[in-house]
């Protein structure tokens, strides 16, 4: 059995952001191989994410972005599990950046049902023509 050093655990933690004990357990399972341990943690992370998918996100923040000149504005709501998270600077920054990205994307419609049928058909015909010209179907 390979001896797991603190440096190995720290290196894996720095790469993955996983908890120290999770890193140590993954390294032990992978017999000290950093690449295998990373794979193990990623697989566990997917399983963990699946478990968390059903949780409710009843806390959060409504953020806004108004572009210079005031002609473009965005309101965005981003939810999380706790008000503690919603109050962090990182979460506030995330909300602001998402609002800025939405403004930069210049969306024309909010919901799919808002898109007129003729616009949908026009876009579909463009994509069909692109697919045919590239040989993809």
Nearest to 36 by CA among 84, 2, 70, 69: 2
Q: CATH assignment of 6-52, given 1.20.120.1810, 1.10.510.10, 1.10.8.10, 3.40.50.300? A: 1.10.8.10
Using the predicted structure, report yes or no on whether residue 137 has a pLDDT greater than 70: no
Percentage above 90 pLDDT, the chain: 50
Nearest to 80 by CA among 99, 67, 62, 68: 62
Domain residue extents for the chain: 6-52, 59-106
Using the predicted structure, report yes or no on whether residue 1 has a pLDDT greater than 60: no
Neighbours of 33 (CB within 10 A): 15
**Domain 59-106: which topology?**
Tetrahydropterin Synthase; Chain A (3.30.479)
Using the predicted structure, report yes or no on whether residue 10 has a pLDDT greater than 70: yes
The packing angle between helices 34-52 and 6-16, to 10°, is 50
Tell me the pLDDT tens digit for each residue of 42-99: 888 766 666 677 778 889 999 999 988 888 899 999 999 889 999 999 999 999 999 9
Distance CA 98, CA 100 (A): 5
């Amino acid at each position: 059995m390979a001896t797991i050093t603190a440096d190995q655990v720290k290196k894996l933690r720095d790469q993955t952001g996983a908890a120290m004990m999770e890193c140590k357990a993954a390294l032990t399972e992978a017999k000290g191989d950093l690449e295998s341990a990373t794979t193990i943690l990623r697989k566990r992370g997917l399983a963990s994410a699946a478990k968390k998918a059903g949780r409710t996100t009843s806390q959060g923040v409504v953020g806004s972005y108004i572009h210079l000149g005031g002609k473009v504005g965005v309101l965005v709501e981003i939810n999380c599990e706790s008000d503690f998270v919603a109050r962090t600077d990182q979460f506030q920054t995330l909300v602001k950046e998402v609002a800025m990205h939405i403004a930069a994307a210049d969306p024309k419609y909010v919901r799919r049902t808002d898109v007129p049928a003729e616009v949908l058909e026009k876009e579909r015909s463009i994509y069909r023509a692109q697919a045919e010209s590239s040989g993809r179907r």
